[in-house]
Amino acid sequence: MTVLSVNLNKIAVLRNSRGHDRPDLPTAAHVCMAAGCGGITVHPRPDQRHIRPQDVRELAAMTRGQVEFNVEGNPFAGPRDDYPGFLELVRETRPDQVTLVPDSDDQLTSDHGFDLARDLDRLADALQVIHAAGARCSLFIDAGHDSASAFEAAARAGVERVEIYTGPYADAFAAGQPQAELERCAQTARRAYAAGMAVNAGHDLSQRNLGAFKQAIPGLAEVSIGHALISEALYAGLDATVRAYLDILS
């Protein structure tokens, strides 16, 4: 079964808007875990617009041995104020999975992935840190852009998974024309599988579009879902919404 990893960034956005400690991230994580999710995801950025370093530390401790903890971020993000740098957080908290994303402060949200052919060499040091911390490495990539040889090179370099950026698919689904984007995602998954890597997916997946995506990607290992899930939970409740996603994935 495909693992559902719940991204808690939006819970942190709501908390930070008041400057206090409510809603509480560990409590939200506990509700998601009790409902049956298989993972918790956070994306600590240097500007701390949502997840803060202390959140990463607390969630790493509470998820260990319970569900997978996935930390997303830019491996080139260095220290700033009390943000110790992305790779230093990885060294300290030792998550189960690290998803490398080429984001920057001026992006509202992640909107593109790494180019395997172009970026792999400069990711070598980050891969070494991630593996030394005992974590699996996943690379956030665009669908349809990389060649079979690029996937093979990534696998040789120690990349265990790719996470397909599904924003374009979600947009195409909303427009009523998802098939071309679905095929691009499926082609990317086939190339990853052929190279010996597993496939994750994330960004703008929702209850509405998740079923078709999972059907198109046999063997999908994990989906990381935050914005849509937390939005839907405002109406239905967090426990019920997590369970609804799990029903789709099963």
Cis peptide before 218, with omega less than 30 degrees from 0?
no
User: Strand 222-225 to strand 198-202: parallel, antiparallel, or no bridges (unpaired)?
Assistant: parallel
In the residue annotation, 88 being an active-site residue is answered as: no
Say which of 50, 68, 72, 160 is annotated catalytic: 72
Amino acid occupying residue 116:
L
Q: Is 160 a catalytic residue?
A: no
Answer yes or no: are the C-beta atoms of 134 and 164 closer than 8 Å: no
Q: Can 203 be counted among the known catalytic residues?
A: yes
Q: Which one is catalytic: 160, 181, 203, 222?
A: 203
Tell me the torsion sign for CA atoms 43, 46, 52, 56.
positive
Catalytic residues: 43, 72, 203
